Amino acid sequence: MLKTIMRTSKTFNRHTIIFYLTLALYLIPCLLFAQLNPTQIVSIPMRDGKFLAADVYIPAACTSCPTILIQTPYNKNSFRAGLPMGFGLNLQSSPYAWVVADWRGFFGSVSAAVAQPKRGEDGYDIISWISTQSWSNGKVGTWGPSALGVIQYQTMKEKHPSHLCAIPIVAHPQTHYQGYFYGGALESSRLQSLDMLGFGLSPLVLANPYYNLVWQITENSTWYPQDISTPTLQIGGWYDHNIDRMMDWYKACRTSADTSVRNHQWLLVGPWVHGGTGPAYVGSSIQGELSYPDAAQKNDTMSRSFFEYYLLNSGNWLNTPKITHYELGTNAWRFSNDSTIEISQSTELFLNDQGTLIAGNGINSSLFISEPRNPSPTIGGHTLSQSLNQGPYSQNSLIGRTDLMTFETSALSQDINVSGRIKVHLFIECDQPDADIVVRLTDAYPDGRDMLINDGIRRMRFRNGYTQALESFMQIGQVYEAVVELPFVNYTWKSGHKIKIYISGNSSTRWDVNLQNGDTMYTAGDTNTAIITIHHNSSNPSRITLPSTNLPLALEDSIETNPFQLYPIPANQTLHINYSKLYTKTLRYKIIDIQGRLIQKSILSDSNIRIDDLISGIYFLQIYDQEGQQIYIRHFIKQ
């Protein structure tokens, strides 16, 4: 088992070992010696004459009790290993009956498949069947994550009078263009995962790479907060790919749902991933390379209280704040009764020379090489793929690559909180007709880790919009503005930490790798190497817009100059480099060409580096300390 774990985990650390060993010690006895046997295995009739397969679990004390309905495309039998919300194998401790049904067309319900299933109507019919059973008192709540959450919204839309409450987890009902083409770039790893799960969406998605009438109709028909008349506890995670749209959906429910339930909508957001493809899940303490013990099983605790109120008429749930959210960075629970926790005010940080982020306009420009044949790898984040880690991971292993640039503030003099969507405005020049711009937002810890918060992408041909009419390719010598919008997050950088971004041309395998040739997307073809220049000066103010109110104070009296200064650029025979007296030990340098080949390396014995033997072109200077850690990278041009 341990060998299997090591093969399937790219990052195998102490936390991962502990998690898997603990999980194995729990699951192996359950799977080998015990399982939860359904009280009934039934076929539930649908209005079209077909039947859905379901397992029914009825506690011995239940003669007339409420029911929790779970509708799943992932096999109802999996719940025989234990019921959710901490009930596990102890059915007799549950005050509820449970019905777990396979979706039409999946597993036990394969024979009920139809070309265009109406899953909301199926949910309505299941609730009608439950309401007629002798063990049911007619009260039904629904529960489930991801696809099991989406179908709850579809069922809510049908407005069954016995559907009294719902807990959709890491889910929202809308099928939208950017859910598949984030920033115009296909999130290929997620689409492949959905295909592997049996949804078969690739043909339809890939046939519509532009925002068109198909997407418009689909988005409009799956956005219906005005049809919600059921109390909900919506549960999300800051490292979940659905969190951005979930925040919009919750706000819409608070303002547009049926007036009888607008004040019966709650939101819980924890430091959690989507789950389903790794050791982390909603409610676990370990998320990626970080741990949040005070958030463990908060979802279960609140879910049980929610159901107790609406299904058992017990407790004082109505006193619960409407939004309970975990503030990343400070790692503390916060509360609000508003419809959103977004900060309306914003502050800007500007990209500057030498990889810095400052409060005022920067100078000069920076460049990197985007090579589709050797793309920058995805390291954690809001992923959904068996081949990718989920959650917060350090991005340090990317440092040293010539296909990205980093920009960071100096150490902050006080805590900085953001709540909302961070936007990165970049002024781009490129020698190819198309390219992608990926931004990774990190917290640069004092111990050297750059922990990922979230990331985003923008395909340059779609910088003006996502319709085919707005598609526009780049011309050599022209500068274009592109905006990369990052998902909604509530985060605090602690005093002494730094705000840092990584900018690259790709993030593989999460997003499709742009061939950069301007040809038809998502087809095989030749790849072009792109030289991407980011201009950051008063005429082209590349910058980050943060939803925050206290950022200027934290930067006051803390702006530092970069410890390395490289000039002239362009250079002819000699590069001059000045560096801080803090570096008293021997430093080494390497010069790399745009193909990634090592051209020159030596000890940095003085402030001059001879480059007269180099041919004209673009190069990268990398400087390393005695331990071999890269501490500086900068491009230069040899005339």
SS3 at position 511: coil
The pair of structure tokens assigned to 473 is: 């390719």
Quote the pLDDT of residue 619.
87
CA distance 278 to 142: 25
CA distance 243 to 236: 6
In angstroms, how far is the first alpha carbon of the chain from the final one? 58
Render pLDDT for 75-109 as a digit per residue (tens, 0 to 9): 999 999 999 999 999 999 999 999 999 999 999 99
pLDDT at residue 24 tops 50: no
Quote the pLDDT of residue 6.
33
Q: Name the residue with tokens 């009078």.
A: 161
SS3 at position 144: strand
- 594: confidence class by pLDDT, cuts 50, 70, 90: confident
Q: Which residues pair with 169 in a beta bridge?
A: 145, 235
Quote the pLDDT of residue 18.
40
SS3 at position 491: strand
E strand map for 356-421? 356-358, 365-370, 404-408, 416-420
pLDDT at residue 562 tops 80: no
pTM of model > 0.75: yes
CA distance 316 to 50: 42
CA distance 172 to 418: 23
DSSP state of 487: P
- 7: confidence class by pLDDT, cuts 50, 70, 90: very low
Quote the pLDDT of residue 176.
97
The per-residue pLDDT of the chain, averaged, comes to 92
Quote the pLDDT of residue 4.
33
How many CB atoms are located within 10 Å of the residue 560 CB?
11
Quote the pLDDT of residue 631.
76
pLDDT at residue 29 tops 50: no
Least confident piece of the model among 54-68, 215-229, 285-299, 574-588: 574-588
Cα Rg of the chain, angstroms: 27
pLDDT at residue 575 tops 80: yes
Quote the pLDDT of residue 606.
79
Quote the pLDDT of residue 627.
79
Quote the pLDDT of residue 152.
98
Find the mean pLDDT for residues 137-141. 98
- 28: confidence class by pLDDT, cuts 50, 70, 90: very low
Question: β-strand 97-102 against 51-57: which pairing, if any?
Answer: antiparallel
DSSP state of 396: G
Q: Pick from 322, 352, 308, 360: which is nearest to 535 by CA?
A: 352
Render pLDDT for 475-529 as a digit per residue (tens, 0 to 9): 999 999 999 999 999 999 999 999 999 999 999 999 999 999 999 999 988 999 9
What is the torsional sign of CA 553, 555, 556, 557? positive
CA distance 477 to 475: 6
CA distance 58 to 92: 8
Least confident piece of the model among 110-124, 350-364, 424-438: 350-364
**Sheet containing 617-624, strands listed edge to edge, beginning at the edge strand earlier in sequence:** 598-603, 588-593, 617-624, 630-638
Torsion of CA 443, 449, 453, 455, to 10 degrees: 110
CA distance 549 to 182: 28
Q: Are 174 and 218 in contact (CB under 8 A)?
A: no
pLDDT at residue 14 tops 50: no
pLDDT at residue 17 tops 70: no
Find the mean pLDDT for residues 249-272. 98
Residues, the chain: 639
CA distance 30 to 90: 12
